[in-house]
Chains A and B, each alone.
Chain A
Amino acid sequence: MANYHADKKGRYGRFGGAYIPEMLQPNIDDLSARYLDIINSEEFQKEYLSLLKDYVGRPSPLYYAKRLSEKYNTNIFLKREDLNHTGAHKINNTVGQILIAKKMGKERIIAETGAGQHGVATATACALMGLKCVVYMGETDIERQAPNVVRMKMLGAEVVPARSGNKTLKDATNEALRDWICNPEDTFYLIGSVVGPHPYPDMVARLQAVISEEIKVQMKEKTGKENPDYVIACVGGGSNAAGSFYHFLDEESVILVAVEASGLGIDSGETAATIALGDIGIIHGSKTYLMQDDDGQIIEPYSISAGLDYPGIGPQHSHLKDTGRAIFLSATDDEALEAVRELTLLEGIIPALESAHALAALKKMKFNKEDNVVITVSGRGDKDLETYMNRFHLK
């Protein structure tokens, strides 16, 4: 059977690895050597599970969406990560990494954020643990996700604007890496997705794996079968998808569907559809598909969704693409907005723009009446109200 997980060097087939400057090598070596022992320790498991339960509010419901199911003539279950504390799946990862950071004696936490959900989840975990928190965020994103900036500040985090490139997630990640280079001893870089040098993609996937672990139990309860026919999730870096897929990777009967953001359209020049357009390269320390020009310069991405507005993708997803284990689709800004409206009116759930890309897949696929389709709603739409107000003319 194919192996879909990282090997010892953090390789997923021909992807992954740790392409980092020497300045980061000691930190990465230290983390690589320790993360599995820490995660597998009884002490970590106890604290992590208790935080997930009592602080995050897990398990998150698996909700049978009756009216949506009727519309698409199939059985649709929504995995409600939007109901987590702070409003997205990102907190599963941050409460885990913060425990790892503490175990390693780090006092200062840095993070990058796009939609601000990871920034808020990091600032929250830092407030909880009494650790100093600095979040890098692109200037464009600071504007379009303003409520999350306020939340981070209330939580005591310093929000530093990234002003290079398109001033979005890629640029925030560059700044966070530069900070880490300059502060190698006391600082822990808490990455928000399954991207970056090994061991981050594997570490973050393990911390998000709780999503699919719960889906199995909940599907069994609701349908008598652990495995659904489809699992659908959106991908920016790919952490909610990695967590939603994790325990189904070796269950080949489960069709895995990842949905990227194509912005104004795959061929419009204003897109973030990495798998559709990318070829292999190295971004933020990892070999993976990425959007680049003929000279190997990274192409600035675009999506209405700040969390999906990234020119790369986690190396595991590149491997899932290569092996054919997952199907990759994309949804445009308009398709995502349409999906926001649909879910809101049919089910009374206002999703985040990111999550709406996963929901938009419903219109692109054919299901049978008996199929069980799980869609991960990675986050709630509160942060996107400004965009919804403008795009739906609600002012």
Chain B
Amino acid sequence: MNRINQLFKNKKDILSVYFTAGYPNLNDTNTIIQSLEKNGTDLVEIGMPFSDPLADGPTIQASSLTALKNGMSISKLFEQLKEVRKTVSIPIILMGYINPVHKFGIEKFINKCAEVGVDGVIIPDLPFNEYYEEHQQLFENAGVTNIFLITPQTPDARIKLIDDNTKGFIYMVSSAAVTGAKKGLSEAQLAYFTRVNNLNLKNPTLIGFGIGDHESFTEACKYSKGAIIGSAFIKMLSKSSNFENDIKKFISSIRNN
């Protein structure tokens, strides 16, 4: 069983943390992953920076820009991740936009993921239909899970279709928003989570966008297997002069208040 399925089988209140590769410094990637794991993060999403990240708000835009200036690229990231499985055992997901992946070569990219021990990818602007018609076999052969987003506007039938064609988890975007949305969950959002839960999907869900503190994390966990924190973590990194210490404090503040 792969690491993602294993995680969801054994745990609830899963905490997934997103950070941008190459931010704040080019070679922080492994330090951040190791520190996240050590402090009780269950899953890590590494953002591959892109010049024009259209589903991202100001925080992740800014971190992407810095990362690119620092010299981050997909090939650089794979180089950094070459030995990651010697020290890290939690699932790793790469998240990024289609253009750099397309330029790198989708097949080469997926094979590289498998080679270094990346478990899944999220490519928000690779639409489901395109994946289904052109790339599904490639992903499945390599054993790399493609994770899809759903939103409050996604029709039930489409959610089911996505559920039928993925084998990891479904990324439930909490509201119509780009990343870095304001924290907290409204009645309407909770109703949407309930609607999705009532569909009895075969895949578990994680909630992301607008999760950034203990309160929103615990609330999200009531409606799914866990939640994803991105912008709040990056904001913390941007102010930190001591990662080891601050990551520990951050994760503990999410888990325990």
Contacts and interface: CB of A to CB of B under 8 A. Distances in A.
Interface of A: 17-23, 25-27, 164-165, 170, 174, 177-178, 181-185, 280-285, 290, 292, 294-298
Contacts of A19: 98, 125-127, 130
Given A178-B54, A283-B52, A297-B51, A22 B149 contact: yes
A25 to B, nearest CB: 7
Contacts of B257: none
Which 9 pairs from chain A and chain B are nearest by CB? A296-B103, A296-B100, A295-B73, A21-B124, A22-B149, A297-B51, A26-B153, A21-B55, A298-B51
Contacts of B177: 181-182
B54 A177 contact: yes
B154 interface: yes
Interface residues of B, number: 37
22 contacts: A19-B127, A26-B153, A26-B155, A165-B52, A170-B52, A178-B54, A178-B178, A181-B176, A280-B102, A281-B99, A281-B102, A292-B99, A294-B103, A295-B73, A295-B74, A296-B50, A296-B99, A296-B103, A297-B51, A297-B68, A297-B100, A298-B51
Nearest to B148: A22
A285 B52 CA distance: 12
A282 B102 contact: yes
Contact of A23 (B61, B100, B126, B153): B153
Interface of B: 50-52, 54-55, 57, 61, 65, 68, 73-75, 98-104, 124-128, 130, 148-151, 153-155, 158, 173, 176-178
Contacts of A182: 176-178
Given A25-B153, A296-B102, 14 more contacts: A19-B98, A19-B125, A21-B125, A23-B151, A182-B176, A281-B102, A282-B98, A295-B73, A295-B74, A295-B103, A296-B99, A296-B100, A297-B50, A297-B100
Contact of B176 (A174, A177, A183, A282): A183
Contacts of A178: 54-55, 57, 178
Contacts of A17: 130
Contact of A20 (B51, B125, B178): B125
Contacts of B178: 178, 181-182
Contacts of A280: 102
A21 B209 CA distance: 14
B55 A23 contact: yes
B130 to A, nearest CB: 7
Contacts of A281: 99, 102-103
B55 A181 contact: yes
Contacts of B99: 281-283, 290, 292, 296, 298
A187 to B, nearest CB: 10
A298 B61 CA distance: 14
A294 B99 CA distance: 11
Contacts of B127: 18-20, 22, 25
Nearest to B57: A178
Given A182-B178, A281-B99, A283-B99, A22 B173 contact: yes
B162 to A, nearest CB: 9
B84 to A, nearest CB: 21
Contacts of A282: 98-99, 102, 125
Given A20-B127, A23-B153, A282-B98, A165 B54 contact: no
Contacts of A177: 54
Contacts of A298: 51-52, 99
Nearest to B177: A182
B124 A22 contact: yes
B226 to A, nearest CB: 20
Contacts of B50: 296-297
A184 B65 CA distance: 27
B196 to A, nearest CB: 13
Contacts of B55: 21, 23, 178, 181
A21 B102 CA distance: 16
A107 to B, nearest CB: 16
Contacts of B126: 19
B99 to A, nearest CB: 5
Contact of A164 (B61, B103, B124): B61
B151 A296 contact: no
B51 A185 contact: no
Contacts of A185: 153, 176
A296 B98 CA distance: 9
Contacts of A26: 153-155
Nearest to B50: A297
B178 to A, nearest CB: 5
A23 B148 CA distance: 11
Contacts of B73: 295
A22 B173 CA distance: 9
B166 to A, nearest CB: 12
A188 to B, nearest CB: 15
Contacts of B124: 21-22
A185 B124 CA distance: 20
A174 B125 contact: no
A23 to B, nearest CB: 5
Contact of B51 (A27, A165, A184, A284): A165
Contacts of A181: 54-55, 176-178
Contacts of A20: 125, 127
Contacts of B61: 164
Nearest to A28: B127
A178 B104 CA distance: 26
Nearest to B124: A21
A23 B125 contact: no
A22 B51 contact: no
Nearest to B181: A182
Nearest to B72: A295
A26 B151 CA distance: 10
Contacts of B57: 178
